[in-house]
Amino acid sequence: MKGYIEERAVEIANHIIDNNATVRQTAKQFGISKSTVHTDATKRNDLIYIQNSRRFDFL
């Protein structure tokens, strides 16, 4: 996954959590579609979590 997409996915997740924002509000704030917000907040953040957990398996 490209770096800017990972960064956006994390920013979106943080925005939703910090502001208790809806998908619609988040899409408007970031200037992207509701579908993109949903994909970033679910699928991409899951993938980022899995990738990061693999990085720290040796700990």
- Predicted local distance difference test score (pLDDT) of residue 4: 87
pLDDT band at 2 (very low <50, low <70, confident <90, very high): confident
Domain ranges of the chain: 3-55
Query: Could you tell me the pTM of the whole model?
Result: 0.72
Q: Are 37 and 12 in contact (CB under 8 A)?
A: yes
How confident is the model over 16-25, as a mean pLDDT? 92
Question: Which is more confidently placed, 45 or 55?
Answer: 45
pLDDT at 11 over 80: yes
Q: Are 55 and 48 in contact (CB under 8 A)?
A: no
